[in-house]
Amino acid sequence: MSIQLYKMLHFTGLVLAFMGLAGVLALRWGKNEETGKRLLFALTHGLGMLLALISGFGLAAKLGYTSGLPFWVIGLVIVWILLGASFALVKRFSNLAALIIIWLGLLAIVGSWLALMKPFQD
Ligand code: HEM
């Protein structure tokens, strides 16, 4: 598989992961308890996370990082874990929606900074 295809899958996964969180947050914030609707966004988030993870490690392998991952890739894995943990935040603390949106925005900024600037790489 080409690097471009991996990147397409990576970005699609990230978009779906963030979209799923936003959907669950909006439903909870609006006090909509319909589980079918929440499930759709929960599945969108889960599928996106899986896609982002697989394509992320696919990209790392394509770039030749097979052992001893560099700092920026480890950082991306941590951002990915925090993104997954954010699911609990949107479910439980939807009354703090504005703060959660800022938090998710920060995750996107840190993630793209790590991937594009590759800090601490010689
Ligand atoms: C398990 C988690 C992840 C892994 C292993 C991973 C790994 C990678 C790798 C190896 C690249 C290729 C970099 C390059 O071509 O120079 C990449 C690209 C990228 N990743 Fe991830 N990533 C992960 C999660 C994330 C997350 C959570 C975000 C954002 C929130 C993110 C944002 C990006 C962006 C913006 C690029 C494009 C960089 C470019 O075009 O050069 N990644 N990722």
Mean model confidence pLDDT for the chain: 96
Does any ligand 1 atom lie closer than 6 A to the CB of residue 21?
Answer: no
What are the sequence ranges of the domains in the chain?
A: 3-117
Does any ligand 1 atom lie closer than 6 A to the CB of residue 112?
Answer: yes
- Is residue 121 within 8 A of residue 70, CB to CB? The reply is yes
- Is residue 86 within 8 A of residue 107, CB to CB? The reply is yes
Is the pLDDT confidence value at 121 over 90? no
For residue 87, the CA-to-ligand 1 centroid distance in Å is 20
In single-letter form, the type of residue at position 94 comes to S
- In this structure, the number of other CB atoms found within 10 A of the CB of residue 13 comes to 21
Q: What is the pLDDT of residues 78-96, one digit of tens each?
A: 999 999 999 999 999 999 9
Side-chain half-sphere CA neighbours of 27 within 13 A: 19
Closest ligand 1 atom to residue 18 Cα is 30
Percent of the chain with pLDDT over 70: 99
Q: What is the pLDDT of residues 4-16, one digit of tens each?
A: 999 999 999 999 9
Exposed, middle or buried: residue 49 (CB in 10 Å: 0-12, 13-18, 19+)? buried
What is the structure's pLDDT at 122?
Answer: 65
- Is residue 52 within 8 A of residue 79, CB to CB? The reply is no
Mean pLDDT of 21-47: 96
**Minimum CA distance residue for ligand 1 atom 31:** 111
Mean pLDDT of 4-30: 98
The position carrying tokens 């959660």 is: 100
For residue 56, the CA-to-ligand 1 centroid distance in Å is 6
